[in-house]
Every structure is written in structure tokens, then in C-alpha cells.
Amino acid sequence: MKAATTKKFFQIVDIPDYRYPGNKDAIMDIDFNSVATDCDTKTISLLEAINILGINILNETDGKKTDSSKISMLSGIICDLAELAIATNKISQSAAYSSGYKDAENV
């Protein structure tokens, strides 16, 4: 049996669905469980970063004269981080499903 080589979400542009393999050999090398775990961790980190930025925005605007360019920059970062969190969550869910499906086949 060949060792799994794909373990990080950045190695996958579009995670394949284990049920419908286009290239069975390539899919067998994916450690879906590791990918799901990696993406779960990244999703949590991204959400924590979004929370920290949100608190910083509140502190920046709390009764002070605000720097609109700083607020705009932080808002843009929050939007980007939210999109990344959605992507990592999607990959995590797909990988977790494929991991369970693969395990059910005792592969």
C-alpha cells in the first residue's frame, strides 16, 4: 500500500469526491482525514482572527476620532478572512465525508 502524500488543504485546488473517482490512484493517495483536520484547524484560526479584528474595530471607533482608511483596511481583511474560512470549511466537510466513505469501504 502506498503512503498518503496529500495532507494539507493548500495541496488541493478542488478536492475530489471519493465516491466518483476520475483517477482512482490519485484519490487513494489523499489522506482525507488529515485534510479535514487541517482545514478544521485553519477555519477556527481564521474565525479567531476575524474576532480579533472585529474587536480592534470596536476599540478603534469607541468614542474616538476614527481613521477611516484604517477601518476600511480592517474591513477588507475581515472580508478576505471570511472567504478563506468558507473555503476551508467547504474543503473540511468534503474531506470528512470522503474519509468516512473511504473508511466504510475498508480501504
Averages of pLDDT over runs of 10 residues in the chain (107 residues) are: 63 68 74 89 92 86 78 85 85 85 73
On whether the pTM is more than 0.75, the answer is no
Task: Give the position of cell 488543504.
Answer: 9
Q: Which residues contact 35 (CB under 8 A, 6 or more apart)?
A: 6, 7, 8, 9, 12, 15, 91, 92, 95
